[in-house]
Amino acid sequence: MAEKQTQRFSLITDKSLGELRKLIDVPIEDSIEPWCYEASRDNIRHYAHGIGDDNPLWCDPAYASSAAYGRIVAPPSFIFALNRVFSGYVGGLSGVHAMFAGIDVEWMRPIMLGDQFTVKVRLKDLIEHQTRFAGRAIQQIYRAEFYNQKNELVAAGDSWCFRTERDTAREKGTKYSREAEKPAVSYSREDLQKIFALYEAEEIRGARPRYFEDVKVGDQLPKMVKGPMTVTGYIAYAQGWGGLYIRANKLAWQQLRKHPGLGIANKFGIPDVPERVHWEDDLAALVGTPAAYDYGPERCSWMSHHLTNWIGDTGFLRHLAVEIRRHNPVGDTLYITGEVTRTFIDDGAHCVEVAQTAVNQDGELSVRSKGVVKLPSRS
């Protein structure tokens, strides 16, 4: 019997890259519909629960009615549910893998219950890199602006994916070359108790204002835990966020007909979407990663969750820049820490800058992030 051949995937070519460059700064009009057009009570709650955030400001109408805004607001990272391109639905380079890798976003006003959104998005830039993961990689950057029903700009910023050759990452990449030598992650009862203790100690600042004058450079934010990672957790995020390509039956067929390079045959020979890397170990291994891994927008949302817990109801997240440094495969646990690096006043706003890092259970850097929050002042 002939040996089964490993599936081969598309390469990054100068021709395909040149065709994609022609689309830089062209508004994207024919975009797939978002998961959410509106910040409804259910949409907000589903998104918050998808990132493991039980802040009553997002989810409890009775609590929110007497809080800072007088009604429910959405977590800042809810913007991911408002546009799929911003969330990683990249165009061009058919058959080349896309990995969400970061954001740089500014919020101008809160996302209020009932807000309806229009998003303007365009391809901003393509930057070539040499990486340990897959050699040649293309950083594909999109710019998005989020407007509410009053045509007010609510948020604006960049997000980016790295486009990588799946075969090169699997066969020649060195980033995870030692992963196979490591023992499989296994948690004892004591390990789990330590993780659960962090969940139990997680503090939502809530109605107690954190005043600008009480914050000093060097202050440490409470450690936040996310994990241990499970496919169930990844699906929970997809339920609130909508995913990129998750479709069923006729809608799945329509998607694959429109984008023929999207489908990758599963073990039954059925073409299915590359998003399966988040729940199928076999496909994750084919693209060069150790196992099924978490979503990039999900991880960015964890960093904003860390900040909104700390600032309380009267604080406001103004800016967040996140760099994703490695994958979080199933079994990983992430520990998020933060330190105040600057306090300043900007056009009358009392601002605090926080440097955040997230490492896995082995101390490996997963995320590097910087946030700027606005706090109330005693004056």
The mean of the pLDDT values for the chain is 94
Judge whether 48 and 113 are in contact, CB under 8 Å.
no
pLDDT digits (tens, 9 = 90+) for 260-289: 888 999 999 999 999 999 999 999 998 889
pLDDT on residue 5: 54
In one-letter notation, the amino acid at residue 203 is: E
313-365 per-position pLDDT tens digit: 999 999 999 999 999 999 999 999 999 999 999 999 999 999 999 999 999 99
- Total Cβ atoms within 10 A of residue 365: 12
What are the C-alpha distances in Å from 88 to residues 102, 128, 154, 313? 10, 18, 20, 30
Can you list the domains of the chain with their CATH numbers? 14-374 (3.10.129.10)
Chain segment 161-197, per-residue pLDDT in tens: 999 998 888 888 887 766 665 777 899 999 999 999 9
- CA–CA gap between residue 180 and residue 113 (Å, rounded): 47
Q: Calculate helix-pair angle for 296-311, 231-241, nearest 10 degrees.
A: 80
Angle of helix 41-50 relative to helix 231-241, nearest 10 degrees? 160
Average pLDDT over residues 244-258: 94
In degrees rounded to 5, what are phi and psi of residue 293? -135, 170
What are the tens digits of pLDDT across the range 105-132? 999 999 999 999 999 999 999 999 999 8
Q: Dump pLDDT digits (tens) for 21-50.
A: 999 999 998 768 999 999 999 999 999 999
Q: Are 371 and 301 in contact (CB under 8 A)?
A: no
What is the pLDDT, as a whole number, of residue 169? 83
Angle at 131 between CA 125 and CA 135, to 5 degrees: 100
Token pair, residue 58, equals 């997002």
Distances (CA, A) of 234 to 39, 147, 247, 296: 22, 28, 16, 11
Q: Give the side-chain half-sphere CA count within 13 A for 154.
A: 24
Note the pLDDT of residue 6: 62
Distance CA 325, CA 366 (A): 5
pLDDT at 77 > cutoff 80: yes
For residues 351 and 372, is the Cβ–Cβ distance under 8 A? yes
What residue type is assigned to position 133 of the chain?
Answer: F
What is the pLDDT at residue 170?
87
pLDDT at 4 over 60: no
pLDDT at 7: 65
